Structures are given as structure tokens and as C-alpha cells.
Amino acid sequence: MQETLEILDSAPAANGKPRDPWTRDEFVAALEALRARYHQLHPFHVRMNAGQLSPEELRRWVANRFYYQRMIPRKDAAILANCPEEEVRREWIKRVLDHDGTPGDPDDPGGIEKWLRLGEAIGVPRAELLDERHVLPAVRFAVNAYLEFCRTRPWIEAVASSLTELFGPDAIRERIPALEAGYPWIDPAGFAYFRARLHQAPRDAEYALNLVVERCRMRAAQETAVSALAFKCDVLWVQLDAIERGDTRPVMPNPPTWR
């Protein structure tokens, strides 16, 4: 993996001359510029925050988003598997526990369980989330592509792709009161997932940002990191494209369990 980064760092510009690396501020600004492509700006989320979604649309969203939520600890495990550094792995494993839960701790069921409870609060039975019967093909394709990216790309690129967490807290601060005001029929206890992310995401984003800035010091590696984050923004956006369109096919009563 380190060899890949060294090759990227040595890549010249088109005119054959080495490209100057961005300063830290310039690099962070390039990453932050992708906030304009974050899925909170998607028309579906705009309508959600305006209280304009039907119960059916909300249920479609929560069922399809669960497929992504369920994949998060698996992509983090892929980063762990590819990372040769013990110190980074010790820190990164917290993300797996945030979603899978802490064994023996009933007060920390994890993000996946909290999303299941959100589904129940919105009216999607737990069993229907778990068997993935409502997952749209485009959502499955996009999420699987993200997992494959994290499995096969250098670990620091996968870390860079996680930096959508820079944008998440602001979106969640807007989403919680919007859901409470626009959809009063939803039990507010179902929003526990979002409340937890208000402190988890900034912690994780700060650590990941420092890692990316520290390890990607040459221009080619910096640009690759920005591209990785752009790819992740696209993954999130196309999920909402599919969810907004919906699907006219009948729900599978016995969906396949293979991947």
C-alpha cells in the first residue's frame, strides 16, 4: 500500500515538471469544497427537511439507507485489514464498535441497532430491514462499490473517502429538528442514531483529516485523496437518486441472501 502512495507522490504534471504540493490550508480547502456535493443538498433531503415527504417515501429512505449503515463497519474493517500501523488500527476500531455496539453494554447498542429502532419508529418492521427486501438495485450497487473501494484501494485513500463526516454534523443538526417538526407521528426516541452521530462524527472526522493531511504530503497524493472523497459524495448522492425515483417492481417475499 505504501508503494502505491510513493508512486502517486512521484507522478509529474503533464508538462513533466513536479507539481508543488498544496499547503495544509489549501489541501483542507480542497477537501472542504466538496461540501457542495454532499447529499444533504440533494432534492430528496431538501424535501425531507421541509416536511414534504410522504410516510412511504420516508420508509423507502430508512430501508435503503439501512443497507449503507449495515456496510459501514465492514468498510471500516477493510481499512483495518489494509492498515499496517497498530496505532491507527487501535483508533480506527472505535468506528466498528460505534456501529456494531459494545459487547456487554446495554447502554451502547450501536448504530445498526439504533437504525433498526428508527425503522420501527417510522413503520418499517425490523425483519424487513434485515432481509433487505426493500433495497433498490442502484442502492445496492453503489454501496457495494464503496465497500470494494475500501477493500482494494490503499488504506489512506479509504480514510480520505470517510471525510464526508466533516459535513455530516451540520446536516444532522438540521435534520433532527426538521424531522421532529415535519413528522410529529414519528417517535422521537427513533432519532437516537442521529444524536449519537453529533459527537461521534466530529471526533472521527478530526482524526481522519489529520491522518490524510499528514500522510498525503505531495500533490498527486493530495489530489487522489480529494478524488476519493468526491467518489464517496457520489456514492451517497446516487443512493438518494434511486430512493427518490423509487421502484415499481413488487417486493420480493423471500429475497436472496447471497451477495
**pLDDT above 80 (res 256):** no
CB under 8 Å to 102, separation ≥6 — which residues?
108, 110
C-alpha R_g of the chain: 19
51, amino acid identity: G
Among 141, 185, 189, 4, CA closest to 84: 4
Q: Is 23 helix (H, G, I), strand (E, B) or coil?
A: coil
Transcribe 57-92 into DSSP letters. Answer: HHHHHHHHHHHHHHHHHHHHHHHHHH---HHHHHHH
User: In this predicted model, which residue has the larger pLDDT, 132 or 13?
Assistant: 132
What's the CATH class of domain 23-245? mainly alpha
Quick one: cell of 200? 461521534
**pLDDT above 60 (res 14):** no
**Within 10 Å of residue 228's Cβ, how many Cβ atoms?**
25
User: In this predicted model, which residue has the larger pLDDT, 14 or 87?
Assistant: 87
Q: Is 169 helix (H, G, I), strand (E, B) or coil?
A: helix
Q: Are 186 and 106 in contact (CB under 8 A)?
A: no
Among 49, 230, 197, CA closest to 110: 197
Q: How many CA atoms lie within 13 A of 211 on its CB side?
A: 23
Distance CA 8, CA 19 (A): 12
Instruction: Spell out the alpha helix ranges (H) of the chain.
Output: 2-9, 24-32, 43-49, 55-82, 86-100, 111-122, 126-130, 137-152, 155-161, 168-182, 192-215, 219-245
Quick one: cell of 45? 433531503
Distance CA 74, CA 89 (A): 14
Transcribe 137-154 into DSSP letters. Answer: HHHHHHHHHHHHHHHHS-
Q: What pLDDT digit, counting tens, does each position of 227-239 carry?
A: 999 999 999 999 9
Locate the domains of the chain by residue range: 23-245
pLDDT at 51: 97
Q: What pLDDT digit, counting tens, does each position of 142-187 carry?
A: 999 999 999 999 999 999 999 999 999 999 999 999 999 999 999 9
pLDDT at 107: 76
Q: Which pTM was predicted?
A: 0.88
**pLDDT above 90 (res 5):** no
Q: What is the DSSP letter of 42?
A: S
Quick one: cell of 18? 513536479
Mean pLDDT (the chain, rounded)? 91
**Within 10 Å of residue 104's Cβ, how many Cβ atoms?**
6
Q: What pLDDT digit, counting tens, does each position of 66-82 carry?
A: 999 999 999 999 999 99
